[in-house]
Amino acid sequence: MPAPERARADVRRLHFVNALFSHATGSDLYLAEQIRSAIAFSLAELEARLAASPEHAARYDEAFNAAAAELLARLFARHPRHGFYHWDASLTLAGGTPLFSRAEIMAGLRRLAGYREATLLVTNLRTALIPPGRRATARRRAEYAEALAFIGDLAAARTARGTNLHLLFL
């Protein structure tokens, strides 16, 4: 990957980490950079393999997102007052369909029901509906936008009034 393109990707990942871990970093970009660097260090072997074939940069992004989600899950596991649920939409072929989305989101909301503070993390919904290497047609983009709205509306309707639910899409 050329240097300017790599720098843009690193800045994008930095802002991603800053948003994802804002409760821990207090939106301090220096702390977010430390987390981003730690995740990148854990993926150094993958990065070295991908340096030989830059066309597979999307694999690095997927691995980075997965590592960040795992780190976030570990962080919330240590906080008994904060609920956490992660749904990876790409694990099944029907992951992005409305029926399957509803079932997974409802399972997550049931698990988070007893918490006043909770985070619901949805990963790979875009890749489930707009697969890499396939055209992002207007229909696929519309399905993705509908899925985002559907999940947001479902979470709002099924969450108790006093609950502070953070809904994150990666």
Dihedral of the alpha carbons of 142, 145, 149, 154, in degrees to the nearest 10: 80
Looking at the fold, whether 22 and 72 belong to one and the same domain comes out as: yes
DSSP reduced 3-state for 167: strand
Under DSSP, the state recorded for 135 is: -
Give 10-residue mean pLDDT values along the chain (170 residues).
71 82 80 86 75 67 82 80 86 71 90 90 85 85 91 92 88
Looking at the fold, whether 116 and 163 belong to one and the same domain comes out as: yes
Looking at the fold, whether 23 and 97 belong to one and the same domain comes out as: no
DSSP string, 56-118: GHHHHHHHHHHHHHHHHHHHHHT-TTEEEEEEEGGGSTTTTSHHHHHHHHHHHHHHHTT-SEE
Looking at the fold, whether 165 and 125 belong to one and the same domain comes out as: yes
Looking at the fold, whether 71 and 88 belong to one and the same domain comes out as: no
Determine the structural domain holding residue 68 and report its residue range. Answer: 1-78
Looking at the fold, whether 88 and 165 belong to one and the same domain comes out as: yes
Structural domains counted in the chain:
2
Q: What is the pLDDT of residues 26-45, one digit of tens each?
A: 878 888 888 888 888 888 77
| Residue that terminates a domain, selected from 63, 78, 93 | 78
Looking at the fold, whether 58 and 93 belong to one and the same domain comes out as: no
DSSP reduced 3-state for 16: helix
| Residue that terminates a domain, selected from 78, 98, 127 | 78
Looking at the fold, whether 33 and 101 belong to one and the same domain comes out as: no
Predicted local distance difference test score (pLDDT) of residue 56? 62
